Structure 1
Amino acid sequence: MIRVSSAAKAVVAGLAAGAAAVGTAVQDGNFTTGESVTAALAVLSALGITYAVPNRPGEVDRVTPGRGI
């Protein structure tokens, strides 16, 4: 299983939230101050929430010799 750090997951979540907010905001052809604040808050919220939630602990590997129990 690939191990991904909490920081890497938070960055990806922030980028995805920002892209979604900006993509929605520019549909009408302009990007207002309110839309930029909304996009910034979406990025910061995604970063903070994703970073704060811990990764699930890995399961014991019972297949690979020398690993696990």
Structure 2
Amino acid sequence: MRISSIAKSIVAGVAAGATAAVTAVQDGTVTTGEGVTIVLAVLGAWGITWAVPNRPAPGA
């Protein structure tokens, strides 16, 4: 199964953003600092996941 690095990074960004958002709304409000944390989590996941290459297929 071949997964492009773009699809891989989008899924990672959504997962990281959702995790940060769930943590942020535990008290019922999202502060500016928590919003920044959510955005940085998404951007960080996108960048790191996009930068790491996929493992080459066996026998390639």
Q: How does the TM-score come out when normalised to structure 2?
A: 0.97
After superposition, the CA RMSD in angstroms is 1.0
Q: After superposition, what is the alpha-carbon deviation per residue over 1:4-62, rounded to whole angstroms, capped at 9, x for unaligned?
A: 000000000000000000000000110000000000000000000000000000002xx
Which structure has the greater CA radius of gyration?
1
How do 1:15-26 residues align onto structure 2 when only pairs under 5 Å count?
15-26=14-25
Letter in 1 for 2:30: F
Which one has more relative contact order, counting CA pairs under 8 Å at least 6 apart? 2
Counting helix residues as a fraction of each chain, which structure ranks higher?
Answer: 2
Structure 1 unaligned residues grouped into runs of 5+: 61-67
Return the TM-score normalized by structure 1.
0.84
Runs of 4+ in 1 over 2 A off after TM superposition: none
Number of aligned positions between the proteins: 60
